[in-house]
Amino acid sequence: MIPFLDLKAQYASIKTEIDAAVLGVLASAQYVLGDEVAALEREFADYCGAKHAIAVNTGTSALHLALLAAGVGPGDEVVTVPFTFVATASAICYTGATPVFVDVEPVTLTMDAAKLEAAITPRTKAIVPVHLYGQMANMDAIKAIADRHGVAVIEDACQAHGAEYKRHRAGSIGVSGCFSFYPGKNLGACGEGGIVVTSDDEHAKAIRMLRDWGQEQRYHHALKGFNYRMDGIQGAILRVKLRYLEDWTEARRAHARRYSSLLAEAANLETPVEAANRRHVYHVYAVRSRDRDGLQRALQAEGIQSGLHYPIPVHLQKAHADLGYLPGDFPQSEAAAREMLSLPIYPELTARQVEQVAAALRQDAYVD
């Protein structure tokens, strides 16, 4: 069996350090925020090339607070893409604003900047590009349009720790960038976690207050805040893992190159493209096929797990039917939802496993 993800293998590889980190927090009794979380914030801000980082309890909370700090609220519109995890749109809804979708580019599956301007109205307060699968969106074009309209760009970098666009790290181009530390992400906690990075002092200050009941000083609540604090244990674990992130990312990239070369001749599927001037961190390695479901069955027959990211675009989700979108509104997102198949990819995957997955896919290609 080849699992889609193997978190036990990652834990086994660094068990001594993780166990020591957890025991350290237990002994310190700094269970919520505390020194380990503060150190993680400094180290992750450095990693992203940003001035500040504010750790929170989930990636969704990171998006929610980044939007609030940008002044997003009821009556506003926030432009994003429908081909993403539902949390991107949900975080916009939490603020009382309305998500407005633009379709994705056919190859990178990130926001199509050529369609962005038409979605901007006098109510638009922010744009949230999603660095899907670990590849950054076309940030120059998006930023130019945002600047022209005086609208904030908030990066949904929840899948893109360490990704780069023209040597700028994910999270460092917009006014803020939001990351998830959900266990399966490229940098994952042993539980939930998230973080916002920003180089704007005012945004950092607001986000820091909002995650902790809107207080700067205990029991003085200047803002209507939330309990979005990170656990001390997660902070300590994430600090250990952050030291391995570059090696893990290079391992993912090597697996991706190997997959792409082994699958180059497969007639019935397309492999992912790393766009020029970008560093793709392959949170997801997804192939594209008209016979996606057939390929998934062929893998399953060989005991190989695969995933669908994502089978239903957000504009067609029942939960967001109130937005009034219809099938056909975003053809690229809808086609991607039908055709994308995510293969196992994680640092601990072996070269032999990559070959087995590719062989199972090629077999199917020959039968067709």
Ligand X SMILES: *Cc1c(COP(=O)(O)O)cnc(C)c1O
CB closer to ligand X out of 142 and 358:
142
Does residue 84 bind ligand X (CB under 6 A)? yes
Does residue 196 bind ligand X (CB under 6 A)? no
Task: Say what angle helices 15-28 and 35-48 make with each other, to 10 degrees.
Answer: 130
> CB of residue 56 vs ligand X: minimum separation in angstroms?
9
Within 244-263, which residues bind ligand X (CB under 6 A)?
A: none
Does residue 130 bind ligand X (CB under 6 A)? yes
> Which of the ranges 18-26, 155-163, 220-228, 358-366 carries the binding residues for ligand X, by CB under 6 A?
155-163
Nearest CA to 111 out of 76, 148, 136 is that of 136
- CA pair distance 318, 301, nearest whole angstrom: 32
CB closer to ligand X out of 10 and 180:
180
Question: DSSP label at 229?
Answer: P
Q: What tokens were used for 167?
A: 């040597």
Does residue 156 bind ligand X (CB under 6 A)? yes
* AA identity, residue 347: P
Does residue 172 bind ligand X (CB under 6 A)? no
Residue from 34, 59, 171, 344 binding ligand X (CB under 6 A): 59
Nearest CA to 234 out of 18, 5, 49 is that of 18
* AA identity, residue 311: P
CB closer to ligand X out of 89 and 209:
89
The answer to whether 86 and 317 are in contact (CB under 8 A) is yes
Does residue 238 bind ligand X (CB under 6 A)? no
Task: Please tell me whether residue 179 adopts helix, strand or coil conformation.
Answer: strand
Q: Name residue, tokens 């244990």.
A: 233
Residue from 158, 266, 299, 316 binding ligand X (CB under 6 A): 158
Q: Say how many C-beta atoms besides its own lie within 10 A of residue 259's C-beta.
A: 24
**129 to 154, 170, 356: CA distances (angstroms):** 7, 11, 35
CA dihedral 319, 320, 326, 327 (to 10 degrees): -60
CB closer to ligand X out of 187 and 209:
187
> CB of residue 133 vs ligand X: minimum separation in angstroms?
9
Does residue 44 bind ligand X (CB under 6 A)? no
> Which of the ranges 58-66, 118-126, 140-148, 200-208 carries the binding residues for ligand X, by CB under 6 A?
58-66
What string of DSSP letters covers 40-105? HHHHHHHHHT-SEEEEES-HHHHHHHHHHHTT--TT-EEEE-SSS-THHHHHHHHTT-EEEE-PBP
> CB of residue 182 vs ligand X: minimum separation in angstroms?
4
Does residue 194 bind ligand X (CB under 6 A)? yes
> CB of residue 123 vs ligand X: minimum separation in angstroms?
23
Nearest CA to 11 out of 160, 281, 191, 178 is that of 191
Residue from 10, 60, 176, 333 binding ligand X (CB under 6 A): 60
Does residue 135 bind ligand X (CB under 6 A)? no
CB closer to ligand X out of 175 and 263:
175
Does residue 186 bind ligand X (CB under 6 A)? no
> CB of residue 284 vs ligand X: minimum separation in angstroms?
9
Question: DSSP label at 269?
Answer: -
Does residue 88 bind ligand X (CB under 6 A)? yes
- CA pair distance 162, 311, nearest whole angstrom: 26
> CB of residue 262 vs ligand X: minimum separation in angstroms?
27
Residue from 47, 83, 85, 248 binding ligand X (CB under 6 A): 85
Residue from 94, 101, 182, 248 binding ligand X (CB under 6 A): 182
Does residue 87 bind ligand X (CB under 6 A)? yes
Cβ-count burial of 299 within 10 angstroms (0-12 exposed, 13-18 middle, 19+ buried)? Answer: buried
CB closer to ligand X out of 34 and 188:
188
Does residue 58 bind ligand X (CB under 6 A)? yes
Element (H, E) at 215: strand 215-217
Residues that bind ligand X (CB under 6 A): 58-60, 84-85, 87-88, 130, 156, 158-159, 180, 182, 194
